[in-house]
């Protein structure tokens, strides 16, 4: 990890011989601000604050901006101004006349195997909920994937475009998780362009699945459903002889369409789509290796029977049918194939159903279990905030220590 903003401030301050108090006075900011930045209790600040500190240190502001990715992972206020700077540079480079791009990183010509390995590495870090490391690694990944396209030709270049599409998809997925929707849309649009250039429709369909997730997060339900259904129709597999990757891509698109339909108050249509997705999962079975199933990186989530049954629970939750949600949750088969994000989301659905049924102890227990295994992921979930807020509002006695800690983690109103 490169130095943080606070590391750079502290280094420059010591070089100039100033104390924290002297720098704070010169910059007209509080000593507490300087202290928290230098100790990395905060890893970003408002741009106006950074400008004042830079002027007091007599350096350009850009020299202070190091690796601020941790601030996005922590959901710190104002993180978007600088924490995502390097990712923004990678996705929206400064362009001029005749295609000139300014400020792009110089990279050694990579091998396709090297790019593939880096995609897997970033994907694993993302699923370990280390969002700071994910953001820090994305710019180099995207630069190498683009370089691979530039230095290849023919069949190798088609393969390079597939990898470029997957790299952009990983970026888009992480940015959706961090609620940076404008950059996520840019990344996924570039993923679809690269997939088109590769000629691989399944790689493109994988990116569409993530694009549909983005549309769902933005409340664009009709567009998400139409996009998912249209793409599913375009790649619909023949059940007698299709490959597992085709069933997986088609099934995920139906899951996205179902999620859009139930959010648009069409529960019956959602159930029909879930049934079709379940048929695809049965056709794949449980013994096919994961790398054979998915044409994209694991960020999309593993498609299997358990995933479909978890989505049935989610559908019941969105429809407001608490009894059905709890009954379906009891029937979700155990499996280690769904990715952690899907499992965690399912656990939030179960917690919500318990909370709505007045089973507050059970809901809290589920949330504590998610916190134990995925605290960084939980911090970014508005759904978790809503559940904890419901539990806090319905309590009849003083808030328990566990509930207070959950409220602090997710930023819920505990009053």
pLDDT of residue 287: 60
Quick one: CA torsion of 229, 231, 235, 238, rounded to 10 degrees?
0
d(CA 32, CA 95): 39
pLDDT of residue 300: 61
Residue 374: closest CA among 404, 342, 400, 349: 342
List phi, psi (to 5°) of 102.
-105, 135
Residue 177: closest CA among 204, 210, 208: 210
d(CA 229, CA 272): 13
* CA 265 vs CA 198, 210, 318, 320: distances in Å: 38, 22, 9, 10
Strand 94-95 versus strand 101-102 pairing type = antiparallel
The answer to whether 228 and 256 are in contact (CB under 8 A) is yes
Q: For residue 52, what are its two tokens?
A: 């004042």
pLDDT of residue 105: 64
pTM across the whole model: 0.80
* CA 356 vs CA 212, 228, 266, 353, 375: distances in Å: 28, 31, 21, 5, 23
d(CA 131, CA 74): 9
Q: What angle is formed at CA 380 by the lines to CA 193 and CA 122, rounded to 5 degrees?
A: 45
The answer to whether 294 and 248 are in contact (CB under 8 A) is yes
d(CA 344, CA 72): 20
- Helix spans in 28-153 (H): 31-38, 47-57, 69-73, 79-82, 85-91, 112-127, 131-150
pLDDT of residue 51: 81
Collect contacts of 150-155 with beta carbons under 8 A, ≥24 apart.
151/109, 152/112
The answer to whether 133 and 103 are in contact (CB under 8 A) is no
The answer to whether 132 and 73 are in contact (CB under 8 A) is yes
Name residues whose C-beta falls within 8 Å of residue 250's C-beta, 6 or more positions apart in sequence. Answer: 205, 232, 235, 236, 237, 280
d(CA 337, CA 103): 41
- Give the CA radius of gyration of the chain: 23
Q: Is 197 exposed, middle or buried (0-12, 13-18, 19+ CB in 10 A)?
A: middle
Name residues whose C-beta falls within 8 Å of residue 364's C-beta, 6 or more positions apart in sequence. Answer: 391, 400, 402, 403, 406
The answer to whether 287 and 337 are in contact (CB under 8 A) is no
The answer to whether 390 and 355 are in contact (CB under 8 A) is yes
pLDDT of residue 353: 95
Per-residue pLDDT of the chain (415 residues; tens, 9 = 90+): 567 788 888 988 888 888 999 999 999 999 999 998 898 888 777 777 888 888 888 887 767 765 555 555 555 544 445 557 788 888 998 888 887 777 666 678 889 999 999 999 998 888 888 887 888 889 889 999 999 999 999 999 999 999 999 999 999 999 998 888 999 999 999 999 999 999 999 999 999 999 999 999 999 999 999 999 999 999 999 888 888 889 999 999 999 999 999 999 999 999 999 999 999 999 887 666 665 566 666 556 678 899 999 999 999 999 999 999 999 999 998 877 777 888 999 999 999 999 999 999 999 999 999 999 999 889 888 899 999 988 888 876 777 888 888 988 888 766 5
Q: For residue 126, what are its two tokens?
A: 């993302």
The answer to whether 192 and 200 are in contact (CB under 8 A) is no
């Amino acid at each position: 990890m490169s130095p943080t903003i606070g590391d750079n401030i502290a280094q420059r301050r010591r070089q100039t011989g100033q104390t924290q108090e002297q720098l704070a006075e010169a910059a007209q900011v509080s000593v507490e601000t300087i202290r928290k930045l230098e100790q990395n209790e905060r890893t970003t600040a408002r741009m106006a604050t950074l400008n004042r500190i830079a002027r007091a240190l007599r350096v350009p502001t850009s020299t202070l901006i190091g690796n601020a990715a941790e601030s996005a992972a922590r959901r710190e206020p104002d993180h978007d101004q600088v924490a995502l700077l390097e990712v923004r540079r990678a996705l929206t480079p400064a362009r001029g006349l005749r295609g000139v791009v300014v400020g792009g990183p110089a990279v050694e010509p990579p091998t396709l195997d090297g790019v593939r390995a880096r995609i897997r590495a970033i994907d694993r870090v993302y699923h370990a909920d280390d969002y700071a490391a994910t953001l820090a690694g994305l710019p180099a990944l995207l630069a190498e994937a683009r370089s691979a396209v530039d230095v290849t030709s023919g069949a190798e270049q088609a393969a390079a475009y597939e990898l470029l599409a997957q790299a952009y998809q990983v970026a888009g997925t992480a940015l959706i998780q961090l609620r940076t929707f404008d950059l996520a849309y840019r990344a996924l649009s570039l993923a679809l362009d690269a997939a088109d250039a590769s000629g691989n429709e399944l790689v493109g369909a994988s990116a569409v699945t993530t694009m549909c997730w983005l549309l769902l997060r933005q409340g664009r339900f009709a567009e998400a459903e139409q996009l998912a259904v249209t793409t599913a129709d375009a790649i619909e597999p023949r059940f007698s002889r299709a490959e597992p990757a085709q069933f997986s891509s088609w099934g995920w698109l139906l899951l996205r369409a179902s999620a859009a339909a139930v959010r648009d108050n069409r529960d019956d249509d959602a159930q029909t789509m879930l049934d079709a997705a379940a048929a695809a999962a049965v056709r794949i079975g449980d013994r096919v290796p994961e790398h054979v199933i998915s044409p994209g990186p694991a960020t999309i989530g593993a498609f299997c029977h358990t995933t479909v049954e978890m989505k049935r629970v989610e559908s019941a939750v969105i429809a407001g049918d608490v009894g059905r949600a709890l009954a379906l949750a009891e029937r979700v088969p155990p499996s280690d194939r769904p990715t952690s994000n899907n499992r965690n989301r399912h656990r939030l659905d179960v917690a919500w159903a318990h909370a709505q049924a007045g089973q507050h102890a059970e809901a809290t227990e589920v949330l504590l279990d998610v916190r134990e295994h995925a605290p960084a992921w939980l911090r970014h979930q508005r759904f978790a905030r809503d559940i904890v807020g419901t539990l806090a509002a319905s309590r009849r006695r003083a808030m328990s220590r566990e509930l207070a800690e959950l409220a602090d983690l997710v930023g819920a109103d505990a009053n």
